């Protein structure tokens, strides 16, 4: 009888160890666990930044047509630059001096640039900068400041926006 009690105790001890082991992950229909989805959510685009390299440039020398060369980076919640699909929209406003809101009247809005397809996304991506480059046609007035607003419509439904003051010095 003592042998039977010892076997029962060993069996229940082993059963207890097996049941108290690591938590199992139950996969969702997409093949990832709910915990993993929340972890990866912090790696999606959380902020848009217009880089200080943004400037007016002349396409064909000093007398040629001008364009606005814009460098935009998308940052995740950790502040790291990343490449991600999205639709970019650029608007240019008058700069209002000595104002709490420096954005004045809108001068131009360029057509949306859809970077959800890999080929077009790669065309604008500059890996050495970890940023996107856009060339927007515009003839600025001399010694005048403008406010550039960039907006990115992300695939997850978020709308990221940033403003940048740029001055024409030509």
* pLDDT tens, residue by residue, 135-155: 999 999 888 999 999 999 998
- Rounded CA-CA distance 62/50 in Å is 25
- The arithmetic mean of pLDDT across residues 76-103, rounded, is 93
Count up the domains in the chain and report the number. Answer: 1
pTM: 0.74
Residue that wins the pLDDT comparison between 36 and 166: 166
In a domain, 77, yes or no: yes
What mean pLDDT value characterizes the chain?
Answer: 85
Residue 125: pLDDT over 80: yes
- Rounded CA-CA distance 3/93 in Å is 89
In a domain, 36, yes or no: no
In a domain, 1, yes or no: no
Tokens matching residue 156? 């997850």
Tokens matching residue 101? 């809101």
In a domain, 28, yes or no: no
Read off the CATH number of the domain in which 136 is found. 2.60.40.1930
pLDDT of residue 107: 96
**CA neighbours within 13 Å on the CB side: how many for 85?**
9
- Note down the domain range covering 125: 46-167
In a domain, 74, yes or no: yes
* pLDDT tens, residue by residue, 23-75: 555 455 555 556 666 777 778 888 999 999 999 998 666 666 789 999 999 99
């Amino acid at each position: 009888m003592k042998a039977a009690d010892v076997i029962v105790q060993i069996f229940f001890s082993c059963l207890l160890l097996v049941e108290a082991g690591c938590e199992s992950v139950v996969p969702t229909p997409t093949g990832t666990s709910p915990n993993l989805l929340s972890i990866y959510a912090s790696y999606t685009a959380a902020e848009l930044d217009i880089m200080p390299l943004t400037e007016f440039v002349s396409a064909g020398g000093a007398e040629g047509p001008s364009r606005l060369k814009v460098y935009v980076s998308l940052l995740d919640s950790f502040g790291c630059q990343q490449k991600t699909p999205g639709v970019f929209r650029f608007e240019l406003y008058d700069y209002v001096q000595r104002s709490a809101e420096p954005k004045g009247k809108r001068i131009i809005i360029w057509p949306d640039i859809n970077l959800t397809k890999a080929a077009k996304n790669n065309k604008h991506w500059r890996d050495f900068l970890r940023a996107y480059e856009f060339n927007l046609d515009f003839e600025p007035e001399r010694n005048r400041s403008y406010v550039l607003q960039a907006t990115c419509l992300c695939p997850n439904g978020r709308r990221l926006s940033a403003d940048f003051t740029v001055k024409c010095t030509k």
